[in-house]
């Protein structure tokens, strides 16, 4: 890893829109690699930090849609977006929830209490086929992308383990190594029909040269004890891939940034109806008749928020405005409120996290496992 390079601390950011795909790139004062030279500046620059010895890092949240039911094409799209972000000099790139494998918005999988339909079972078969094994060839390709473009990559995927699916985030370092994963511990509502539940063994926070990075997915960010576990691991760059584009999501992200004294990077897909297969192959239950191919079914709203609760970026499809942020605010925010440090009262309130894997079947010896496998 390259040694820190002292530079001045302009806070730089840009967002671009290409083919209904938005990429937002931000710079903060934790990076190790300076911006690449360019004859035409790619980023607006404003000096907002008084520490002239600070180094810089550039982070990107990607707002783009899956190629539904086509994982190879989605991987190709991910690489194009990653290359674009790397062209801006980004060192950290965060993708939305379920980008690889797809978020099955509007689908019921034919399930009602007491029965399932034949089409719903076929929908699950196709969704299962679009998921990826971890580890597996798709993970290897994502690792190679991270190494090729020299970025830390946070990628939302649908993970397949046997015939159970998990909504998962994968982490890769800039040398092309797979670091680990987080499985969503509590799917929301109908998501529980198709996704399994993660356990305490996959709530990592990775110490990297650009900061301590972790993730929670969509509405599990509303779970106070999960957030506290991540704060206890010292998270600094809190990634929150999501499928929620409502205004109330912005309030959740702002609260987490203030509560944890960390930067929050939330990436969401921007999707139109035509980004999903047409009916009758794929049906938005209860809404299909009101939709046209160009109807927006997920409005994005990806956001980056500072530790002092300032929204330094909220990205819409047509948003090309430059915004500014100063990640030196982490220490300044912790001076006010350190949720697991000087503002905690462990003698009154404490949390114990069971961080071991939980399995449906556990064999007490290798011989028992071998014997069972031959029955």
Residues with a catalytic annotation lie at 97
Residues 107, 113, 118: CA angle, nearest 5 degrees:
55
Contacts of 361 (CB under 8 A, 6+ apart): none
CA distances from 239 to 33, 138, 312, 328 (A): 21, 21, 15, 18
- Return the number of other C-beta atoms located less than 10 Å from residue 292's C-beta: 8
Burial class (CB in 10 A: 0-12, 13-18, 19+), 264: buried
* Residue of 259, 144, 256, 123 lying closest to 194 (CA atoms): 123
Question: How far apart are alpha carbons 73 and 143 in whole angstroms?
Answer: 17
Which one, of 125, 188, 176, lies nearest residue 151 by Cα?
176
CA distance 327 to 62: 19
Contact 55, 27 (CB under 8 A): no
Find out whether 270 and 20 touch, Cβ atoms under 8 Å.
Answer: yes
Per-residue tokens: 357? 């894997």
Residue 362 CB burial class (10 angstroms; 0-12, 13-18, ≥19): exposed
Could you tell me which of 342, 348, 157, 325 has the C-alpha nearest to residue 257? 325
CA 222 to chain centre: 15
C-alpha closest to that of 310 among 332, 339, 335, 343: 332
Tokens of 286: 């209860």
Select from 326, 275, 324, 327 the least CA-distant residue to 300.
Answer: 275
């Amino acid at each position: 890893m390259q040694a820190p390079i002292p530079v001045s601390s302009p806070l730089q950011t840009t967002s671009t829109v290409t083919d209904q795909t938005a990429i937002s790139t931000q710079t903060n004062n934790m990076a190790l690699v300076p911006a690449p030279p360019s004859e035409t500046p790619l980023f607006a620059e404003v000096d907002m930090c008084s520490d002239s010895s600070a180094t810089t890092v550039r982070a990107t949240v990607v707002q783009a849609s899956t190629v539904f039911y086509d994982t190879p094409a989605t991987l190709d799209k991910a690489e194009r977006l990653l290359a674009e972000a790397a062209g801006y000099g980004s060192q950290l790139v965060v993708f939305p929830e379920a980008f690889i494998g797809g978020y099955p918005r509007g689908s019921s999988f034919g399930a009602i209490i007491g029965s399932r339909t034949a089409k719903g079972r076929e929908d699950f078969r196709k969704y299962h086929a679009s998921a990826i094994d971890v580890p597996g060839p798709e993970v290897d390709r994502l690792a190679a992308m991270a190494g090729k473009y020299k970025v830390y990559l946070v990628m939302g995927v649908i993970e397949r383990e046997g015939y159970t699916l998990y909504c998962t985030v994968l982490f890769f370092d800039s040398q092309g190594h797979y670091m680990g994963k987080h499985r969503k511990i509590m799917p929301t509502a109908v998501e529980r029909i198709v996704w399994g539940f993660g356990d305490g063994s996959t709530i990592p926070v990775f110490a990297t040269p650009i900061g301590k990075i972790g993730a929670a997915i969509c509405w599990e960010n509303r779970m106070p004890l999960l957030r506290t576990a991540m704060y206890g691991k010292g998270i600094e760059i809190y990634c929150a891939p999501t499928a929620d584009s409502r205004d109330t999501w912005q309030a959740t992200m702002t609260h987490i940034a203030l509560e944890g004294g960390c930067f929050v990077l939330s990436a969401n897909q921007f999707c139109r109806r035509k980004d999903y297969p047409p009916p009758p192959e794929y049906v938005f239950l209860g809404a299909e008749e009101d939709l046209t191919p160009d109807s927006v079914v997920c409005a994005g709203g990806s956001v980056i928020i500072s530790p002092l609760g300032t929204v330094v970026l909220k990205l819409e499809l047509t948003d090309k405005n430059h915004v500014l942020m100063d990640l030196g605010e982490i220490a300044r925010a912790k001076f006010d409120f350190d949720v697991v440090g000087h503002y905690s009262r462990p003698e009154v309130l404490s949390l114990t996290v069971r961080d071991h894997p939980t399995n449906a079947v556990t064999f007490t010896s290798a011989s028992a496992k071998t014997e069972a496998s031959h029955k």
